Chain A
Amino acid sequence: MNRLMKKTISNVRALKIPRKYFCTEGVKVAGSTTGEASNEHEKKQAINKIIPQYDIAIVGGGMVGMALACFLASMPMTKQLNVAIIDSNPALASGLHIKKEDAPDPRVSTVTPASISFLQDAGAWKYVEQNRHAYFNVMQVWDYTGLGYARYNARDVNKDFLGCVAENKVLHNALLSCVKDSDFKTTIYPLRLSSMTLNTSSMSIVEENTNSVEPSSAQGHGAKLQLSDGSSLYAKLVVGADGGKSHVRELAGIKTTGWNYSQNAIICTVEHTSENVCAWQRFLPSGPIALLPIGDKFSNIVWTMSPAESNSRKSTTEEEFLKDVNYALDYGYGPRPTSGLLGTRDMFSWFKMDAAISTNEFFEIPPKVTKLASERMVFPLSLRHANSYSSKRVVLIGDAAHTVHPLAGQGVNLGFGDAFSLSRIIAEGIALGSDIGEVNLLKKYEAERRSGNIMMMAILDGFQKAYSVDFGPFNILRAAAFHGANYISPLKKSIISYASGDHKLPIFL
């Protein structure tokens, strides 16, 4: 037994993580805990053949996985849970070091007010506010035909802001700090998951026991996870938060449905001469370009285009690229929209009675981009949805369950919503003494999330499809729809509310 234990510890050390990182409060790194725990529960450990037993194993300690840990840490029912986080990202064990003066990372997320309130309740949002972030209260969406535009204002839905843009590393760090500062018991395994045995069925236990003197409790309860260094652990519930190419999903045999868009997104950080305070999105023939404020004089660009275009734009000179960006954000591909075209203003004038305040706001031109502040990164776009979110002892959250078009920055918000919902369902299960890996409990989470997620995916996919067609009459129709959305205030309100994560269904009744 001792030999095995030493082996585990030496394996962890072999990863060359500086020793000091093991001493972080609250969050412990595997290996150091194995040593301590074996003293405390020597008997138990001996029976379990030092295979540690956890309540929950979160595979993937990214934003969504850490958000789940954070939500669990914040509720009285769940804060006593023993949680393992499996992620080979060394930053997780060492803690991320963010300096405010660093150039902003191109990977950013638009956090909706609903997600912000989840994070505030869990105590994580204050850490986001310590770093660079940008609230925005106006959003302008228009298209290249010059036929329509819509401006959304937070005032329309009686809110202070429509959302907040923050770098992924800022969000990730905030969630990590929040878990570390709580007294939540988490053990980080800086390793990869290599296999998962789900059916520790009674039958196999009987077989194993025939040769051993130990009672059946010698075998762990739940899923057995094998890690990349050969060590293993038991967990009553395995949470797959390991992204679009989820290994947990694959090991659990859950299939996905979806397709790849033959499109890539270029993302990068740019600089203006003055601060940008509005979120801009313009639909171009090749796909949408979004300019999101991220604080100071920086903005983030997410630009969708064909793979060939993306490759050439990634390698062109900075000057050439900036010219393309400014062209795409202003007069490129078509004229700026003006009011009165097609008489749309009259067409919808009968809605004016209860029109939203921002109906009267005029079209604005986004601020000029003057400098490239980061490298240009290219990502292929795809849509993928797991056919099921749960099976016995396994549950999927975030991108592992659904990958969406990054059009409205909804991906991470759907993930935060999943994590929040799952944490509540687990708390409910604990309150009633349920086994947290029980499939009936996990199906409740699935029922709560699935329809909403599919709806959002369909909307984003619809947007994407609507703009991949460039055909005269269709353009006018689309522009009319835009104007409709801008003028019919209940519709507009529901669009904003839905985009900010308030409503479960986008049906405007």
Chain B
Amino acid sequence: MAMASNHLRNLTRISVHRILHHRFQSLLNAARFFSDAASSVPQPQPNQQSSPPSSLKDYELAKFAAIADSWWDSEGPFKPLHVMNPTRLAFIRSALCRHFKKDPYSAKPLEGLKIADVGCGGGILSEPLARLGATVTGVDAVEKNIKIAQLHAGLDPVTSTIEFCCTTAEKLVEEGRTFDAVMALEVIEHVANPADFCRSLSALTVPNGATVISTINRSMRAYATAIVAAEYILRWLPRGTHQWSSFLTPEELVLILQRAGINVEEMAGFVYNPVTGRWSLSDDISVNFIAFATKSNSTE
């Protein structure tokens, strides 16, 4: 909790516009980069809603369960993401508490909020949000991820209430769904048209609602760490996971969000300390960064 309140304090110092420092990046810092959306690249998928686990065939369940174990194995291949998760939650928690005037000392401060987690993967963000009291809808274009997420969330009565759907943000808009807050963490760098995607996020957000986006900066450091180190040297990610040219700089993100009717209010960077193996929030947004934005009252 002490850590969380430190984050709260740090956050107040972080402003929107940053000058990027294109400094040489040592290989040690290679570990700064991680993306959980590696496997959630939107792909053309059959439009069917995923079915509940009980109706699945046994061998399929067993297969998905085996993968679910690796998604959720905190010592496994997704370990860096598990380590990073509390850090981004600290940012999201404090920003949402402040925006929606919720009690930050409550154990379930997000109670009463409807939140969409776009590109939810195995549900690593959806589950903590549900534990914090939110009513969560997790969507991912990859059916496999949705099944894994459902299987894992079903283990705990608190998280079993999360609604997981194999769909896309665009389709949710078509269905006319809206949420108090929309999360799209490590997703925007994978979409074909970021501007369209942001318009969809805006359409999903209620007036006065919040949008949280995290991604990777299009900086030299990000190129060195997210692509050269993570994909080629450390092989955390399959080659070709990220296209450097499709990354957005914080300025660009602010602009396209603005055009979609969303105003960025806070931005923070994530930095990885290879010695302690922990991530922390910082005002260095040159590689991984997260933005908290709100939708103004009078849009479209």
A binds B: yes
CB contact under 8 A between A203 and B62, given known A424-B1, A431-B4: yes
Chain B contacts for A430, CB-based, 8 A: 107, 131
Q: At the interface, yes or no: B45 with Cβ under 8 Å from chain A?
A: no
| Nearest CB of chain A from residue B34's CB, rounded to whole Å | 14
A463 to B152: give the CA distance in the assembly, Å: 51
Whether A18 is near chain B, meaning CB under 8 Å from some CB there, is: no
Question: Contact flags (1/0) for A427-446 with B, using CB distance below 8 Å?
Answer: 11111111100111000000
Most buried by B among A53, A76, A431, A434: A431
Count A/B pairs, Cβ under 8 Å: 103
Cβ B82 vs Cβ A440 within 8 A: yes
Q: In the bound complex, do residue B105 and residue A77 qualify as a contact, i.e. CB atoms below 8 Å apart?
A: yes
Q: A202-B65, A432-B89, A433-B129 are in contact. Are A216 and B155 (CB under 8 A)?
A: yes
Q: CA separation between A486 and B11, bound complex, in Å?
A: 48
CB pair B129–A209 under 8 Å, yes or no, is no
Within 8 A of B (CB), among A128-173: none
Interface string of A207-243 (1 = CB under 8 A from B): 1011001111101010000000000000010000000
A360 at the interface (CB under 8 A from B): no
Residues of B contacting A392 with CB < 8 Å? 74
Chain B residues with CB under 8 Å of A424's CB are 1-2
**A206 interface residue per 8 A CB criterion:** yes
Most buried by A among B61, B89, B105, B151: B61
Q: Is the CB of A217 within 8 A of B154?
A: yes
Return the chain B residue nearest A207 by Cβ.
B62
Give the contact stretch, choosing among B51-59, B207-215, B290-298: B51-59
B128–A76 touching, CB < 8 Å: no
Chain B interface category by residue count: 35 or more
Q: State whether A434 touches B86 (Cβ < 8 A).
A: yes
Contacting residues, chain B, for A217 (C-beta < 8 A): 154-155, 157, 160
Complex Cα gap A429–B157 (Å): 18
Given contacts A215-B53, A433-B127, contact A206 B82 (CB under 8 A): no
Q: Which residues of A contact B86 (CB under 8 A)?
A: 429, 432, 434
A370 to B13, CA, bound (A): 67
Q: What residues of A have a CB within 8 angstroms of the CB of B132 in the complex?
A: 432-433
Give the residue name and chain of the A residue nearest to B158 (CB).
Answer: A221
B61 near A209 with CB under 8 A, answer yes
Query: Judging by beta carbons under 8 Å apart, are A428 and B3 in contact?
Result: yes
With A53-B157, A433-B128 in contact, do A439 and B107 touch (Cβ < 8 Å)?
no
* From A44, A203, A213, contact of B54 by CB (8 A): A213
- Once bound together, how far apart are the Cα atoms of A251 and B127, in whole Å? 29
- B128 CB contacts on chain A under 8 angstroms: 432-434
B90 within 8 A of A: yes
- Contact across chains for B61 and A80 when beta carbons are under 8 A apart: no
A76 pairs with B155, CB closer than 8 A? no
Are B152 and A202 in contact, with the CB atoms below 8 A? yes
Q: How far is the CB of B90 from chain A (nearest CB, A)?
A: 6
* A residues near B130, Cβ cutoff 8 Å: 433
Is the C-beta of A316 less than 8 angstroms from some C-beta in chain B?
A: no
CB nearest neighbor in B for A48: B157
With both beta carbons as reference points, the residue of chain B lying nearest to A236 in the complex is identified as B156
Given A431-B4, A440-B82: A206 in contact with B107 (beta carbons within 8 A): no
- Let me know if A355 is at the binding interface, CB within 8 A: no
Please determine whether B69 and A203 come into contact, CB atoms closer than 8 angstroms. yes
**Of residues A203, A205, A210, A432, which shows the largest number of chain B Cβ atoms within 10 Å of its Cβ?**
A432
B66 CB–A CB distance under 8 Å = yes
Does A216 contact B154, Cβ atoms closer than 8 Å? yes
Report the minimum CB–CB distance from B279 to chain A (whole Å): 11
A431 x B157 contact (CB < 8 A): no
CA distance A203 to B154 in the complex (A): 13
**Minimum C-beta distance from B51 to chain A (A):** 12
Q: How far is the CB of B199 from chain A (nearest CB, A)?
A: 29
Residues of chain B whose beta carbon lies under 8 Å from any beta carbon of chain A: 1-4, 52-54, 58, 61-62, 65-66, 68-69, 74-75, 82-83, 85-86, 89-90, 93, 105-107, 127-132, 151-152, 154-157, 160
- Minimum-distance CB pairs A-B, first 9: A433-B128, A202-B65, A433-B131, A221-B156, A216-B154, A433-B132, A221-B155, A432-B89, A427-B1
9 A–B contacts from the bound complex (CB under 8 Å): A202-B152, A209-B61, A216-B155, A427-B1, A432-B4, A432-B89, A433-B131, A435-B156, A438-B82
Q: A427-B1, A428-B1, A432-B90 given. 13 additional CB < 8 A pairs?
A: A44-B157, A53-B157, A202-B68, A209-B54, A210-B58, A213-B54, A219-B155, A221-B155, A428-B3, A430-B107, A433-B89, A433-B131, A440-B74
